[in-house]
Structure 1
């Protein structure tokens, strides 16, 4: 017997339409009673939604949840506040700033939408014939369609300049984003960038803040129900005056999908003109409705499928079970082959490492991180002291990063790199075994008041050691290795306080003369080069940028991002040192704990650090040249603090002079070799 559930449901809806209308109005009354809604002349607060939004396309209410798309593919939907907002009280008057925050969910496990957008539009009529990657927005500007949007995109679309399939973009009158970034946030505790997946049913909160005086636009993102991160994901200058002064402006949301069924939900929304948007009340947001829909989606049969009778289902179930078992077997065999090809056979047995750490005893812990724990151990066969990194199953450092570290560190040998001795892969356990660095990580000696202060000779030796190790990775090994996470906590100190660069979990390698293929932002806030944050492409120059920040950090004894004045404003260390130089002597930026140092060496290292962290990648020196400067084999050309602010063609003579000096030095070096 064949049953078409879609046709049956359609027939049922038609025959029961009068009763459904009654139920609809009853549900609507209940919805209006339970929703927490505040609407004023310059403020909107929706903790759950009511009916004062205009919906079109596939947008609809599900209890007090706003659903923008919730059906078969090729759909789009809009939800705009029914009354326009006035950002200008009278012609020629000041334009209002605005602040907004909202919580949304895109898709469930098998329902993946293309994305949604927060929009401000000069019209409440938006085309519903732009599904898929266009997010149901106009493809281009016209006199009738002037809009601003913050897009949360989940599908790669090279036609309009997308660089990855999980990003946030700022659009003005066009879907070609003026600024975009991988979706994520900077952790307030450690400054690390953490990716936020936009789909698969994750609850995500966004904040958009616009200052009409400075035209500063900040977009911040985080998993729902945590406090707003201090550092925005995107911060740029955008002049929205032409839109906001044009007349009535409509605010709301737009979403779309292309080929498969998809779901885009908004759970709550707060917006305020000339002020900070009121925080959403998480206790009343319709999370329960989302959970019901998520549960239903696991078992829901798409309306366009035809279900066969029981005699046909039983053999089909048996075939599916057999297929799953065969796939699991083949996947395990493939994974085992992948381990052996990339990493070789395991170097240590799990039993040996359990013995070495006294059963992974807490008293043997050397440190903890996002990846898991590091234990001190004594190998039972050789009595060698080692450090054992035990990657936890919940770690941000997964199998891919684990294998990258083995593949890279298993082949390189250098006195200023932490030596990997081997690894163990046992069931779900991942363990790496290194030489033990008895003095721990460098950041302890910079910031822990209970440790001795490093003198200038020690600091300079550590900087030179890290530079030497990085030069080896970039230019002296058979392939180019990009570390991608150079920072003080990843520099370990041996018995003689020599620095060694470690933690290669994010490292990538490629052939000399070829480009790296990384397109994902990785690293730690404060060390990330501007072009890496913008494009997601790691290069030798992005490593040099991080090394420059690290160098200044070691000399100044300050974190890359921190409070720099009495008001507590956050300021990048690089900017603070540059400002210190502009206001007097660059040596004034040295760590106050340093009492005995050579001023000329401090000046050289700080200026070299600023040059390495130049905002333009082409003006950063390569690591070979950095080594020459540090060892006295080349003289650093003179430049002014203003040179560090060079953008485009500004101060072109200084740019040309420095580049010519560097090129001449490299030519002489090549001839000497």
Structure 2
């Protein structure tokens, strides 16, 4: 009660202390526009990036660090497949503060197919990925202060354009053209605030980059003008917009003070009075953090309030855990013993969520898999509780079984049945593993379909998995496929719409309407399952380079093109030597139907099971029928399991 009764007074006092000493920020966020005159603390931060007052710091005080920050929600540059791609315009104010004459490496504005970037990249890579990936596409405008000739740099103070590679498409010395057309150099590491404008025309593929010191109007002549086709990035689905930076061996800072972006229009001008540019240039970033003595008092009051409330909040959290998840099933000591102190030799794998270890329980000698959720995982606690709430109650032979959990201080651990044969993707792409024959692949496909059908139709509530993919299918002793990783899963009552309203999943398996509307449904799971079964048959990843142009191409589009060009059987994994062509053709066509761009034309999992088990016959259809003719109605009747494209012929006796 003390915490609740004191909180309003502390907040009012804090506001009074801070008023007049800290800058405010003005934020506009919409479907096709964002304006940050100063930044709120809810940005998606990674690496060494920090929110400091009302601006963003991308690199820490120590040298050799990198950081990145993205808008908290992805942008959609295309309404639906085949529709025009949006142009964009953006402007931002930044400053590079290199203490003690130590050089940093630079800063970038970037658009990326994922916001999940590595946290600690070498300095010369500017916080951008330096290894090519067929599932990761990025575009960046770099403001670089180090000469790297191998990346196409022309000097150590330049602006460059990068597309899916650190080798610049175009590069120019940093500067601007004044009102009489004379070039004026801008020294990026001068600790002065600089404004940049980036404008892209999606029709002509024209990209203009303009630079100027703050308080100077946008120059009429761009610093850099080049042609670059960003369609392979902007047409894939949701795109994450933000910034990255890296420092050298010494301490250096890279800061973004304000940012405006608009699709199919001109970005709004930034409000310099809100950005406090003059204060930043006069005193540096530390001044804005130190502030006035009243801020120290406010901080003291905050600490006091936190200390008063922490114990009560912790008690309430413990009650919530036990209500939602039940009592912990394992002790931390037992799990440390089981994994030999979380030894690297017991490590099975790792990802953005944390690490998975093999373990042997000391009391029963049972072999288990233990997921140790990383404290830095952005969604760790939420996903941890989702797994317990869902997997702790469902039981199915084709779902990974959760045995229990442990919560100890900041440690979150989940304990599962051990799957000795690992994940399916290893058998599809690792040349050191034996090739799965067709009978085994079909058996795995049917098993996963059975598990999804159970989640959608057979359990007491509807469970939307939201991350169906080969790496989340684990293989037990008998090579049965079991669907796992329910950290993104959501459940709702039968006959009621799901309430998920943001994009989640893995690139390549995300349905078009999910990317556009952010609403996960049974149909979006069916889409991912369709991509998954095509992947199993073809032995190819969901997104890969086209054979001729080298551009990225969705796997379903590649299979459809193969079918149109001759026989759909030509898409089968070349490693498969002995298979039933009728079964392979059925699975490929079913995969294409499940991954149809219009959700109302996808079969439900009940029909999928009938098709796979021979209880219903999939009628003939042509590849042209898989291409959407227009925009889908946003209100899809999920009770409709199939339409004319999935006419069902029930075979008697089943």
Hey, what does 1:223 align to over in structure 2?
243
Change (3 A) 1:585 1:513: same
Identify the match of residue 463 of structure 1 among 413, 437, 445.
445
Q: Give 1:178-193 correspondences, 5 Å limit.
A: 185-186=113-114, 189=133, 191=135
- Provide the secondary structure at the position in 2 that maps to 1:497: coil
Change (3 A) 1:443 1:169: closer
Question: Aligned equivalents of 1:611 and 1:222: distance in 2?
Answer: 35
- Contact 2:339 2:359 (C-alpha < 8 Å) held by counterparts: yes
Question: Aligned equivalents of 1:414 and 1:347: distance in 2?
Answer: 20
Hey, what does 2:418 align to over in structure 1?
436
- How far is the alpha carbon of 1:466 from its aligned partner? 0.6
Change (3 A) 1:189 1:206: farther
Identify the match of residue 38 of structure 2 among 83, 107, 118.
107
- Contact 1:480 1:509 (C-alpha < 8 Å) held by counterparts: yes
- Contact 2:27 2:35 (C-alpha < 8 Å) held by counterparts: no
Change (3 A) 1:217 1:340: same
- Contact 2:27 2:38 (C-alpha < 8 Å) held by counterparts: no
- How far is the alpha carbon of 1:515 from its aligned partner? 1.0
- Provide the secondary structure at the position in 1 that maps to 2:369: strand
Hey, what does 1:212 align to over in structure 2?
203
Hey, what does 1:659 align to over in structure 2?
643
Identify the match of residue 298 of structure 1 among 278, 289, 297.
289
- Contact 2:602 2:646 (C-alpha < 8 Å) held by counterparts: no
- How far is the alpha carbon of 1:657 from its aligned partner? 14
Question: Aligned equivalents of 1:430 and 1:395: distance in 2?
Answer: 11
- How far is the alpha carbon of 1:376 from its aligned partner? 0.8
Larger radius of gyration: 1
- Contact 1:464 1:630 (C-alpha < 8 Å) held by counterparts: yes
Q: Give 1:127-526 correspondences, 5 Å limit.
A: 166-168=73-75, 185-186=113-114, 189=133, 191=135, 209-213=200-204, 221-225=241-245, 253-255=268-270, 263=275, 294-300=285-291, 321-526=303-508
Question: Aligned equivalents of 1:334 and 1:510: distance in 2?
Answer: 25
Q: Point out the more displaced range, 217-226 or 572-581.
A: 217-226
- Provide the secondary structure at the position in 2 that maps to 1:416: coil
Q: Deviations over 1:71-93 (max 9, x none)?
A: 657799xxxxxxxxxxxxxxxxx
CA RMSD of aligned residues (A): 4.5
Q: Deviations over 1:71-124 (max 9, x none)?
A: 657799xxxxxxxxxxxxxxxxxxxxxxxxxx9976356799xxxxxxxxxxxx
- Contact 1:365 1:374 (C-alpha < 8 Å) held by counterparts: yes
- Contact 1:441 1:492 (C-alpha < 8 Å) held by counterparts: yes
Q: Point out the more displaced range, 593-602 or 388-397.
A: 388-397
Question: Aligned equivalents of 2:477 and 2:496: distance in 1?
Answer: 38
- How far is the alpha carbon of 1:223 from its aligned partner? 3.3
Long gaps (5+) in structure 2: 1-15, 29-33, 44-68, 89-110, 117-131, 139-193, 207-228, 247-262, 633-639
- Contact 1:580 1:589 (C-alpha < 8 Å) held by counterparts: yes
Q: Deviations over 1:552-578 (max 9, x none)?
A: 000000011112314422111111000
Q: Deviations over 1:390-420 (max 9, x none)?
A: 1121224410111101111000000000000
- Contact 1:462 1:498 (C-alpha < 8 Å) held by counterparts: yes
Change (3 A) 1:205 1:404: farther
Are 1:547 and 2:529 matched, yes or no? yes
Aligned residues: 461
- Contact 1:356 1:378 (C-alpha < 8 Å) held by counterparts: yes
- How far is the alpha carbon of 1:325 from its aligned partner? 1.6
Hey, what does 2:253 align to over in structure 1?
none
Change (3 A) 1:396 1:185: farther
Change (3 A) 1:605 1:204: farther
Q: What's the TM-score, normalizing by structure 2? A: 0.62
- Contact 1:637 1:658 (C-alpha < 8 Å) held by counterparts: no
- Contact 1:193 1:522 (C-alpha < 8 Å) held by counterparts: no
- Contact 2:25 2:37 (C-alpha < 8 Å) held by counterparts: no
Q: What's the TM-score, normalizing by structure 1? A: 0.60
Long gaps (5+) in structure 1: 10-69, 77-102, 113-151, 155-164, 195-202, 227-237, 244-250, 266-285, 651-655
Question: Aligned equivalents of 1:437 and 1:204: distance in 2?
Answer: 54
Question: Aligned equivalents of 2:461 and 2:534: distance in 1?
Answer: 28
Change (3 A) 1:192 1:107: same
